[in-house]
Amino acid sequence: MLFMAISTWKPENRDDIMEHFKELKVPSGITIKNQWVDLTGGRYFILFETDDPESYGAFNLPWSDVCEIDCVPVMESAEFMKLMNKHQ
């Protein structure tokens, strides 16, 4: 399943965020599809795939001390429309 995580941090946590990035290790079971940084600062977007709840937690939990993570399951819109058409 695909997930979009949006991490948001306060300006005073910037240095802590940078340290976390230096130590980032992606757990097995997580496949990163793409990543983006908000050029105005304070936000990071990551699209990743996993079917493993343990990997999901191991990937997100270490960040909970320095930022808020809003992580939602996502699907490409064309795929979603096909799915919805099947159920009409």
Q: Give the chain's domain count.
A: 1
Going by C-alpha positions, the residue among 32, 69, 66, 29 that lies closest to residue 50 is 29
CATH code of residue 45: 3.30.70.100
Tens digit of pLDDT per residue, the chain (88 long)?
999 999 999 999 999 998 988 888 899 999 999 999 999 989 999 999 999 999 999 999 888 889 999 999 999 999 999 989 988 7
Separation between Cα atoms, residue 48 and residue 38, nearest integer Å: 17
Separation between Cα atoms, residue 31 and residue 17, nearest integer Å: 21
Residue 66 structural domain: 2-86
